[in-house]
Structure 1
């Protein structure tokens, strides 16, 4: 059974949030959150959001409410819509006109369908857009571009059990076997004997898509037909917490009364879905939450919501709703014997920041999250007076036949980040390449290799 990290390994974040400069985080969208948005001439909705239940159940309406408050509206209400998992957020302008925004949460896939048929202005998704979806929506523009793909929060899939289940850790291979029905009794996992009952989100869910990609497909498995399926995250979690033999997967804010177990992938240590490990995307089942919009936004309310979600207040709402905000924070990492010597020196004398830089698939270019994180990091370094010789970049990669090549490639990744930071006057203390050391995911699948190809930021 994989070894579990102690809470001190990943729960010692300093809680001081550095407030980001609004202009610096608005990459490719030159629009002020605080500008007044045109009011409607009729009672029709000014904005329609469709997609992920993970986002739409709570976070989406909360962000919309915050935007309406920012726009000076009053008497703001969140009410049930015309169907289950649909909500309407409305408010009154100073001249008495009503403004309403619709949020429908029937699964990530439905958001992209709604973008395509024109019944939604924004697609909320708890997974990246698929190539097939991006191709079908090509008439709207490049939905994978930085102007269209907005990472608004981080989340982790928690594997949940009944609170009395003594199991503390699983690896992703075991998890795949469980949900494929190949392991059907808890005794096969070292727990008290009893049949395993499977709980899963429905096929429209981005949560299910993420689990399918990271766990099932990565291990050549498919979900057992015996799994009980749910559209609602809350209902799934509550059902598991009341079933002695239950196991399910859910977004981090929906653990509720259930018990989360630690997860290991490949050679990584078992990790609980903690704030720290999800913020750095090291937790094996961490994921990004997205809003997708047309690159050339014609709806001013859509543009304003995107901007607001990236703003300091928007990210505070992300945190208030149980997800992980993308603010830069520092943490002291305990020194451990399995760490390489130069990494131990960092753990002893420096702090690790909550930002990891990752790259586009099959490319040396930074991905869309990394492009925004560059600006977040620059703001943090300026505010903390760490622009000169205080930063160490540590590159990592996946295993290669030649360890020297793996080390070189990992250092080149760190150098790519250095080039971007140098443009704004950040002078590095050191650049380190650690090759395939300290993996956070299995290298047997593309998803794992992408996670392992990363650059950490440490500060003195």
Structure 2
């Protein structure tokens, strides 16, 4: 009995000494970058990884500055672990990775060509091994719950945030002056909004917009202001109302989980971990855990959209082409759309992983043979028939990848520029229209 008490006492003493021991040793993992990823999702994934590896006494504490956290634990041998997470914006993550101050850069937008070139000494950060899509999000345009506005086009949205539309009455609802709330310059959320909304309309954010480093702080301000409008990731809405958004000739779509999972919602975005070509063991372990079923369950629990494959019914609608209406009436669509590298029929990094996820889903469902229809779509082309041809070629590229994993598709269709989910004027819009859907009988 005395021996048992002694062991318990030593364990309690070690718990008391844990913060000091963890501070004395170097951090096993340092994550810097996106506030969207780093404020809650990254710490939750870290805690999940540590628990999965048998760590004990896992605890999350504030870091040295605002938007910084430290996760401490004892590993399976009783040794202290310290993992540092700083969430000051996507740009800061890439800088820290280049400076050797981070092992993983978290990001809420893809790395730019310029950033990838600057960090070339770390390897090709745009490769499938380095660029890890850990979940999906939508930039939601948020209002006070009492605001009756239902939807906006991307053009109207740009006019609002550029300050050329300044009163709610100009949008058809009462309310007086519009109050703008936006994320700060370092935020990947702002960079996504800027690239998808403002830049295509050759607009800049109005100087009167109030800026926030923290998504939670921005949403709290909108919830307190009936005149306010802002934007935030799906994981931090906290009761704010999200608008439906229309892109080009496509119908207005709300940021629902199914439409974000398929990336059809106009302001859908991917959340990333970026690792150097030679990652540290903890960095690789966290990336692998984030891609696992347990990691994706944490992504969903944190309010984001996981990449787990599901079948969803699609309502039959009059504007759908006849074959598509027949398909919608008899089959279900998987909640993923394969997309491609720019000006290529090669699958992008997310699609390469999605091929494996789809094959696993079909294997578990017993539908590897003859149950799948692949439907390709594209953007408008000047040459008659070219859009239909290219959309079919993309669907055939997906068929080849699935065939390597034992999936034999029943049919491959090219629908050309039918059923667009974006406009056709901008490069980014055309890329979103180039997609392949998976339907299952």
- Tell me if TM exceeds 0.5: yes
Q: Is the Cα contact below 8 Å between 2:175 and 2:227 reproduced in 1?
A: no
* DSSP 3-state at the match of 2:81: strand
* DSSP 3-state at the match of 2:409: strand
Alignment partner of 1:319 out of 291, 297, 300? 300
* DSSP 3-state at the match of 1:388: coil
* DSSP 3-state at the match of 1:99: strand
* DSSP 3-state at the match of 1:450: helix
Q: Is the Cα contact below 8 Å between 2:147 and 2:226 reproduced in 1?
A: yes
Gaps of 5+ in 2: 1-21
Residues 1:54 and 2:36 aligned together:
yes
Q: How many angstroms apart in 2 are the aligned matches of 1:365 and 1:405?
A: 18
Q: How many angstroms apart in 2 are the aligned matches of 1:234 and 1:424?
A: 42
Residues 1:75 and 2:57 aligned together:
yes
How far residue 45 of structure 1 moved from its aligned partner, in angstroms, is 0.8
Corresponding residue of 2:215: 233
Residues 1:301 and 2:245 aligned together:
no
Structure 1 segment 217-366 matched on structure 2, within 5 A: 217-297=199-279, 299-366=280-347
Alignment partner of 1:125 out of 90, 103, 107? 107
Q: Is the Cα contact below 8 Å between 2:58 and 2:72 reproduced in 1?
A: yes
Corresponding residue of 1:196: 178
Gaps of 5+ in 1: 1-39
Q: How many angstroms apart in 1 are the aligned matches of 2:151 and 2:294?
A: 36
Q: Is the Cα contact below 8 Å between 2:261 and 2:307 reproduced in 1?
A: yes
Deviation per residue, 1:39-65 (Å, 9 max, x gap): x99622100000000000000000000
How far residue 422 of structure 1 moved from its aligned partner, in angstroms, is 1.6
Q: Is the Cα contact below 8 Å between 2:182 and 2:231 reproduced in 1?
A: yes
Residues 1:207 and 2:189 aligned together:
yes
* DSSP 3-state at the match of 1:389: coil
Tell me: higher relative CO, structure 1 or 2? Use CA pairs within 8 A at least 6 residues apart.
1
Q: Is the Cα contact below 8 Å between 2:345 and 2:393 reproduced in 1?
A: no
What is the aligned length? 421
Alignment partner of 1:146 out of 94, 111, 128? 128
How far residue 425 of structure 1 moved from its aligned partner, in angstroms, is 2.6
* DSSP 3-state at the match of 1:410: helix
Q: Is the Cα contact below 8 Å between 1:403 and 1:435 reproduced in 2?
A: no
Q: Is the Cα contact below 8 Å between 1:155 and 1:288 reproduced in 2?
A: yes
Residues 1:379 and 2:371 aligned together:
no
TM-score normalised by structure 1 residue count? 0.90
Alignment RMSD = 1.3
Q: Is the Cα contact below 8 Å between 2:359 and 2:406 reproduced in 1?
A: no
* DSSP 3-state at the match of 2:30: strand
Alignment partner of 1:162 out of 136, 144, 147? 144
Corresponding residue of 2:69: 87
Corresponding residue of 1:389: 370
Q: Normalized per residue, which structure has more helix?
A: 2
TM-score normalised by structure 2 residue count? 0.94
How far residue 218 of structure 1 moved from its aligned partner, in angstroms, is 1.3
Deviation per residue, 1:100-132 (Å, 9 max, x gap): 100000000000000010000000000000111
Q: Is the Cα contact below 8 Å between 1:115 and 1:123 reproduced in 2?
A: yes
Q: How many angstroms apart in 2 are the aligned matches of 1:65 and 1:41?
A: 18
Q: Is the Cα contact below 8 Å between 1:238 and 1:257 reproduced in 2?
A: no
* DSSP 3-state at the match of 1:267: coil
